[in-house]
């Protein structure tokens, strides 16, 4: 009736992304205004998920959802500026806490969080997908401190097949700013590994991220997408070389802040491009020395964090890749520093590849300083993109195979409740009929005779159920076999009236 339609309209209004996220055509062609960020495939596919919700209309929504949904909401570099992404960014040691928070909501059974410098994506298994979306949005606004309306214009929303396909594409490097970059696969693998210790990272999330890791490995081993592909760190090194007047790192004093994975990759790419000396600033001496030991061909001048400003004053190029939650370089402290050397035209170039950012954007306002962040790497991306397009098309076919495999595995899980219901119903009938028979026989049966009769009834039931049970079992590896199993499942549910059993139990 009207109240139900009104309720459905309110739900739609609450989770509908902006128009640019619900028009597939936007993903296929560049925006008319070159100043606008392109819409990702994930955003374009959001319309499909929303259309499914709208189609539920005035029907009983729970009855329309035979199984829980895999839902993904997120932000990516393709359509969200870094100042928004960093409000939700989190380090890997916070993932378990985030999973616990998400699964504390009533309609979220499982959860996973993928947070990198280029994306922040939440994956959940939701009992009711539209309620699950609302709960993820609530968690995001609570964590970021942003108003829902301000956040929603950047969010993409994907469900089931689209959500699964998106994660496989992410792991394969097809959604990366730098097409085919390898670091994202390691990050997806980290989510899978961290999830093993999180209670809310359940069977579906485990299977989903395991499939994503497998897909990512196949894309890189069976296509040429990784040939010449670069990570964010490599793109930053290349952009720096493009911006230096001479194009030679050795004409500049190079400084790196942080000694983690990003910095290690950065040093690797700087060394490959001929850089022979860097200043390395880090919070601990041990991590910095360990990094330096891996590159004996380079000269390192290691300094600790208290010397950051003094080291920056002597640097012509600064790369920041620290995990600090607070900015390290600001307009105020940079304004007091001398200009860079004449070899680089008196301009200090700062490349901030950390999320949250290590350098405030207003440092750009200080004369003689130019700041670049991860969003500025598109200049490098555009230069390298064309060479990897063919490999990306080859990767699509591989990802489709992995997608079908995961869906078959997930569909195979549907038969588990039917198996349980069938066994429960059979056992209920067996025990009821056995008690009737024992009652008619009176007290004349010995314990041994009673046990013999009971074992007889169990044997009959087990033999009768053997065929149906075999028809319901599938390992999920063969999509065709799974489809046949699901047909058998629906047939058995009708034959034994198991749908009624489920409703009665619920």
What per-residue confidence (pLDDT) applies to 404? 81
Angle, CA of 21, 23 and 26, to the nearest 5°: 85
Please say whether the beta carbons of 209 and 166 come within 8 A. no
Q: What percent of the chain has pLDDT over 70?
A: 79
Contact predicate 344/245, CB 8 Å: yes
Give the mean model confidence (pLDDT) for residues 255-272: 92
429 or 20, which is more confident?
Answer: 429
d(CA 241, CA 151): 35
Q: What is the pLDDT of residue 7?
A: 40
Closest residue by Cα to residue 380 from 243, 207, 246, 256: 243
Catalytic residue list: 117
> What's the confidence (pLDDT) of residue 177?
76
CA distance linking residue 142 with residue 131, whole number of Å? 17
> Binning pLDDT at 50, 70 and 90, where does residue 20 land?
very low
Per-position DSSP letters for 329-364, written without gaps between them: B-HHHHHTSPPPPGGGTT-EEEEE--SS-SB-GGGG
Angle at 54 between CA 52 and CA 56, to 5 degrees: 75
pLDDT at 475: 60
Q: Torsions phi, psi of 254, nearest 5?
A: -100, 135
473-496 pLDDT, tens digit each? 666 556 666 667 777 777 777 777
Give backbone dihedrals phi and psi of 428, rounded to 5 degrees, phi first: -65, -45
Q: What is the pLDDT of residues 138-170, one digit of tens each?
A: 999 999 999 999 999 999 999 999 999 999 999
CB burial of residue 470 (10 Å; 0-12, 13-18, 19+)? exposed
**What secondary structure letter does DSSP report for 444?**
G
**Is the Cβ–Cβ distance between 67 and 109 less than 8 Å?**
no
């Amino acid at each position: 009736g009207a109240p139900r339609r009104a309720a459905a309209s309110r739900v739609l209004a609450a989770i509908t992304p902006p128009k640019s996220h619900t028009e597939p055509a936007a993903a296929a062609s560049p925006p008319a205004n070159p100043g606008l960020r392109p819409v990702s495939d994930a955003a374009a596919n959001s319309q499909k998920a929303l259309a499914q919700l709208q189609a539920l209309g005035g029907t009983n929504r729970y009855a329309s959802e035979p199984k829980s949904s895999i839902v993904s909401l997120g932000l990516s570099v393709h359509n969200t500026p870094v100042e928004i992404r960093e409000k939700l960014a989190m380090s890997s040691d916070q993932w378990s806490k985030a999973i616990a928070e998400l699964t504390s909501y009533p309609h979220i059974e499982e959860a996973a969080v993928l947070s990198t410098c280029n994306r922040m994506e939440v994956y959940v298994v939701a009992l009711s997908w539209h309620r699950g979306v609302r709960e993820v949005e609530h968690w995001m606004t609570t964590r970021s401190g942003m108003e829902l309306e301000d956040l929603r214009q950047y969010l993409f929303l994907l469900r089931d097949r689209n959500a699964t396909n998106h994660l496989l594409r992410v792991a394969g490097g097809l959604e990366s700013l730098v097409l085919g970059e390898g670091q994202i696969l390691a990050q997806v693998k980290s989510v899978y590994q961290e999830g093993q210790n999180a209670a809310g990272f359940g069977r579906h999330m485990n299977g989903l991220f395991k499939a994503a890791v497998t897909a990512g490995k196949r894309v890189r081993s069976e296509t040429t997408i990784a040939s010449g592909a670069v990570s964010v760190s490599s793109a930053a090194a290349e952009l720096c070389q493009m911006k230096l007047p001479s194009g030679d790192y050795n004409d500049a004093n190079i400084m790196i802040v942080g000694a983690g994975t990003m910095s290690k990759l950065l040093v690797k790419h700087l060394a490959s491009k001929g850089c022979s000396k860097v200043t390395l600033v880090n919070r601990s001496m041990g991590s910095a020395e360990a990094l330096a030991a891996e590159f004996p061909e380079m000269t390192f001048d290691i300094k600790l964090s208290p010397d950051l400003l003094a080291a920056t004053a002597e640097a012509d190029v600064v790369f920041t890749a620290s995990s600090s939650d607070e900015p390290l370089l600001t307009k105020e402290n940079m304004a007091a520093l001398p200009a860079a050397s004449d070899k680089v035209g008196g301009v200090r170039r700062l490349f901030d590849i950390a999320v949250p950012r290590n350098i405030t954007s207003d440092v750009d306002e200080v004369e003689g300083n130019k700041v670049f962040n991860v969003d500025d790497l598109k200049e490098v991306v555009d230069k390298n993109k064309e060479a990897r397009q063919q490999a990306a098309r080859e990767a699509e076919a591989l990802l489709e195979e992995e997608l079908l495999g995961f869906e078959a595995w997930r569909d195979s899980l549907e038969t588990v409740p039917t198996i349980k219901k069938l066994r429960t119903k059979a056992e209920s009938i067996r025990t009821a009929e056995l008690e009737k028979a024992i009652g008619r026989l009176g007290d004349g049966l010995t314990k041994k005779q009673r046990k013999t009769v009971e074992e007889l009834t169990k044997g009959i039931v087990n033999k009768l159920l053997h065929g149906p049970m075999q028809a319901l079992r599938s390992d999920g590896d063969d999509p065709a076999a799974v489809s046949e199993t699901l047909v058998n499942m629906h047939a058995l549910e009708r034959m034994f009236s198991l749908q009624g059993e489920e409703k009665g139990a619920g």
